[in-house]
Structure 1
Amino acid sequence: MVNIEQIKGMISYEFFSIAGHSMTVGGVLLIPAMALIGFWATKYLVRFLTTKLTKRNADPNIIHLVRRLLYAIAISIIAITVLDIINVPITAFAFLSGAIAIGFGFGAQNIINNFISGWILMWEKPIRIGDFLEVENAKGVVEEINTRSTRFRRTDGVHMLIPNSKLLENTIVNWTLVDKLMRTSVKIGVAYGSPAKQVAKLILQAVEEQDSVLSNPPPQVIFEDFGDNALIFEVNFWIQSNVEGGLRMAKSNVRFRLDELLAANKIVIAYPQRDVHIDGSLKLLKSEA
């Protein structure tokens, strides 16, 4: 049978020493125990604060930033507390600082760059969760901003992980940076001979009947040009949307209604036409059997 004295002796057994400070078996076993307790308490606290902020309808970007800050602070506190409990001063790890600095300098430049960029994105908020972005040839919504990369969902449902430094160093189109107002336009060509002013009124009517179109700024119809085969009209209008799909749907609804109005007023939507003129006379040759 193992008695209490033997257990105490095993726990107090000197395992190794760092900078003159001995490390016992009990101290080594205490490290994961304290770490687990600290991480569990941190996770509970973060979940509690997140629930409270969500119930108060706080900005999701603020909630995300608070969570990241709490995790960073908690990890620092846990590390310092564990070292203090096992009587290991932080200065005992000073010899590692040079090696860590060299490793970061040569092998972790991109990681540090993306890490700092992630904190800049969460703090300055040039890009926020829920924003609709255009990154190179991809369009989509920001779902999550992490410390190294940003999770981005394209309009076709595919997820992309974009390094944070890329979002700061390159030109990014943020459709919803200030507000969700978007301007778009619809073009149409009607046949020559159509009453231009009536066409303009019908186009304006088709736009104003849409619930998604804003009255301020008001829609504007422009008689753009005398085209090769048609009188060209363009209407500009504003909607409030946070995704490209809303913009396309608004344009589609305008076209559907415009097709109905033009058909009801017997105005023909133009299509390409060509007049062929044949000089001379045509002769039909009778073939002999």
Structure 2
Amino acid sequence: MNFANIKTILATPIFTISEQPISLGELLLIPLIIYVGLVLTKWTARFVTHRLTTKKTDPNLIHLLQRVLYVTAITILFITTLDLINVPIAAFAFLSGAIAIGFGFGAQNIINNFISGWILMWEQPIRIGDFLEVENAKGVVEEINTRSTRIRRVDGVHLLIPNSKLLENTVVNWTLKDSLVRTSVRVGVAYGSKAKLVADLILEATLAQNEVLTDPKPVVSFEDFGDNALIFEVNFWINSKVEGGLRVTRSNIRFTLDELFEQHQVVVAFPQRDVHLDGSLTLIKQDDNLKS
């Protein structure tokens, strides 16, 4: 088989689209164009990501640019492929309309999550690296995709949350504007303790932690005269992007308080009950011979 025969076979029409015949050669050209286009798109995306990363650009902006680049490249690739095989775009008008109607009825959730994903990436109410609290689950945002958002929970488990849920439901974003978080430590001391001394010791233990901010300054309050204790509480701010930082700081304050209370002989309260008996109570000692 010579070159002329091969050329004739490749020029043989296979089917027709909008009165435009599609030959075997044009049909075989389509996957080649798509492959080359996807390779160039991935190379361009990696190149742009590397350049922006070296310039310490916001990862949320990089992620958004990647998505825009992929969508734009796919659109250009589709139009270019149709142009090379001489198929008018108008030939797909009816088909695209039918697909749109089908999506409208059968893929509402997919379209909803897709649009929600673009809203999240554009408006950025939730960004990569944010610490979220969603439906009693807490974790760090690792990736925002067009359909779902991946969150790494505090116990290491990954959650895939549909984007529409993040827009329609209440989401607590601990680090939306900054990573400053307020927390508190509550402690009860025995009655008879010097309240002023206890308040000073609690403030000293709190300021001894490097994570605790001095502006705003921690505030110690005498909360209440409890059933078994004098109740104190200290409120303070720390700079932390994860919940674990709060727990560690609170724990360190309690360790320091335990040492300071021991040095100043302050007793941490514990539940006590006084039992009052009306009348007389007679205790009978059992004879050892009766036991055997």
Same-fold call, TM > 0.5?
yes
| C-alpha separation in 1, matches of 2:281 and 2:249 | 53
Between the aligned residues of both structures, percent identity stands at: 67
User: Displacement, 1:92?
Assistant: 1.1
Whether 2:90 is the aligned partner of 1:91: answer yes
User: Displacement, 1:105?
Assistant: 1.3
Whether 2:102 is the aligned partner of 1:103: answer yes
Which residue does the alignment assign to 1:176?
Answer: 175
* SS state at 1:235 partner: strand
Which residue does the alignment assign to 1:22?
Answer: 21
Which residue does the alignment assign to 2:77?
Answer: 78
C-alpha RMSD of the superposition: 1.1
Q: Which moved more, 1:40-49 or 1:278-287?
A: 278-287
| C-alpha separation in 1, matches of 2:265 and 2:96 | 82
Which residue does the alignment assign to 1:233?
Answer: 232
CA spacing shift, 1:239–1:36, aligned 2, 3 Å: same
| C-alpha separation in 1, matches of 2:283 and 2:57 | 85
User: Displacement, 1:107?
Assistant: 0.5
Unaligned runs of 5+ in 1: none
* SS state at 1:189 partner: strand
* SS state at 2:51 partner: helix
* SS state at 1:281 partner: coil
| C-alpha separation in 2, matches of 1:29 and 1:119 | 35
| C-alpha separation in 2, matches of 1:92 and 1:174 | 47
User: Displacement, 1:286?
Assistant: 6.1
User: Displacement, 1:264?
Assistant: 1.0
User: Displacement, 1:182?
Assistant: 0.2
Whether 2:156 is the aligned partner of 1:188: answer no
Deviations 1:135-182 (A, max 9, x none): 011111110000000001111111111100110001100000110000
CA spacing shift, 1:284–1:272, aligned 2, 3 Å: closer
Which residue does the alignment assign to 1:119?
Answer: 118
Letter in 2 for 1:222: S
Whether 2:245 is the aligned partner of 1:246: answer yes
| C-alpha separation in 2, matches of 1:160 and 1:100 | 31
| C-alpha separation in 1, matches of 2:214 and 2:233 | 17
Q: Give the TM-score of the pair, scaled to structure 2.
A: 0.97
| C-alpha separation in 2, matches of 1:286 and 1:192 | 37
Q: Give the TM-score of the pair, scaled to structure 1.
A: 0.98
User: Displacement, 1:284?
Assistant: 3.5
User: Displacement, 1:96?
Assistant: 0.6
Letter in 2 for 1:6: N
| C-alpha separation in 2, matches of 1:197 and 1:144 | 50
* SS state at 2:102 partner: helix
Q: Which moved more, 1:58-67 or 1:273-282?
A: 273-282
